[in-house]
Amino acid sequence: MEDLKLIVAPSPHVRDTDSTEKIMLTVLIALLPVLGASIYLFRWDAVRLVLLSAAAAVATEAIFQRFRNKPISIGDGSALVTGVLLGLIVPPSLPSWMVILGSAFAIAIGKQVFGGLGQNPFNPALVGRAFLTASFASAMTSWTAPFDAVSTATPLVLGAARSNLPNLFFGAVAGSLGETSALAILVGGIYLFYKGALDYRIPVGILGTVVVMSLITGQDPVFHLLAGSVLFGAVFMATDPVTSPVTVRGRWIFGIGVGLIIMLIRVWGSYPDGVTFAILLMNAVTPLLNRWTRPRIYGQGVKANE
């Protein structure tokens, strides 16, 4: 027992085996079915846009941190996740330089200027998409049909009556690369939930509200669930932990709020979809939701037994 060099550290002395890197990897794995579906549907455009977006995001993060003399943290996988997510939410025909620019913007302005991982108030991938939509409105709304890349309109523009629900479910419709196949998104979402990397309250809040609002406004709820970015946004975007509330009640309110704004924009607004702005708006109120929905602490407000 001689010559022991013991480490003194505060308790607890055991830690969970999960890590932030593993969570990022889990998200990437959950995106594989979506990626597969988008490659199947949109062929080389999917490969081109997702790869360029991912590479640009990682490179931007590294360059930004290099110039700020900060440790380069691309190994945590968060920039890669942002890049892949952005690549999956742009139209298949988007020019390569645009997705590179959008991805660089997402990381630089959407994330790094706030201090990097964990500090950004808005979902970086959606910041990138909003930037691209505002800058290149026509390229961001030019849609092509799957398989043959012929120009066409999205189901949201066509409307429920002229859309084929099985096609919407499997994804054989025009739309952003990763957003058309509801099936692939659901598979990824179930995997995320199973791995404990997804809080069900946010997607359930969003999808439930979309259904209720569709019924109230006399629209087809199934169509609204399957068309556009609703499913992808509910599963992969709104659930970004950094930009969503930390409390249970906050998450319900967040999800319901996103669902409400989506339907407000879709029914009365001038954008056909509205998911991007709905999530970004709710990101903006997340700090307030955290403050307003603090849980009741054990023993507070409890009277002594007499």
Partner 1 sequence: MRRVKSFFGGIYPDDSKKSTAEAPIEVLQAPQTLVVSLLQHAGGEATPVVTKGDEILKGQLLAQANGAVSAPIHSPVSGTVVAIEPRAHACGSSVTAIVIENNGEDNWVEKNGHPDPVQLDAATIRQRIQEAGIVGMGGGGFPTALKLNPPKNTTIDYLIINGCECEPYLTADHRLMVEYPEEIILGAKLMAKASGAKRIIIGVEDNKPDAYEALKGHAGAIDVVSLPTKYPEGGEKQLIQALTGREVPSSGLPFQAGAIVQNVATAWAVAKALRDGEPSITRVVTVTGKPVVEPKNLLVSIGTPIENLLEAAGGFNGAVGKVVIGGPMMGGAQFNLEAPICKTLSGVVAFREEESATPAVLPCIKCARCVDVCPANLLPLRLEAFGMNEMWDEAQDYGALDCIECGCCTYICPSKRPLLQYIRLAKQEIIAKQKKPS
Q: Interface residues with partner 1 (CB under 8 A)? A: 1, 4, 6-16, 18-23, 73, 76, 78, 116-119, 199, 241-242, 244-247, 290, 294-306
CB-nearer residue toward partner 1: 138 or 305: 305
Distance CA 3, CA 306 (A): 57
To partner 1, the closest distance from the beta carbon of 296 in angstroms equals 6
The answer to whether 174 and 185 have CB atoms below 8 angstroms apart is no
Torsions phi, psi for 152 (to 5 deg): -160, 175
Distance CA 156, CA 175 (A): 9
CB-nearer residue toward partner 1: 161 or 302: 302
Distance CA 96, CA 202 (A): 33
One-letter identity of residue 90: V
To partner 1, the closest distance from the beta carbon of 305 in angstroms equals 4
CB-nearer residue toward partner 1: 155 or 250: 250
CB-nearer residue toward partner 1: 202 or 226: 202
Distance CA 232, CA 248 (A): 22
Torsions phi, psi for 271 (to 5 deg): -85, 140
Contacts with 167 (C-beta within 8 Å, 6 or more apart), sequence order:
173
Within a 10 A sphere around the Cβ of 244, how many other Cβ atoms?
A: 24
To partner 1, the closest distance from the beta carbon of 288 in angstroms equals 14
Within a 10 A sphere around the Cβ of 217, how many other Cβ atoms?
A: 14
To partner 1, the closest distance from the beta carbon of 165 in angstroms equals 35
Beta bridge partners of 144: 151
CB-nearer residue toward partner 1: 268 or 298: 298
Q: How far apart, in Å, are the Cα atoms of 47 and each of 16, 92, 105, 276?
A: 36, 10, 20, 23
To partner 1, the closest distance from the beta carbon of 115 in angstroms equals 8
To partner 1, the closest distance from the beta carbon of 100 in angstroms equals 26
To partner 1, the closest distance from the beta carbon of 299 in angstroms equals 4
CB-nearer residue toward partner 1: 1 or 134: 1
Residue 177: DSSP 8-state: T
CB-nearer residue toward partner 1: 11 or 138: 11
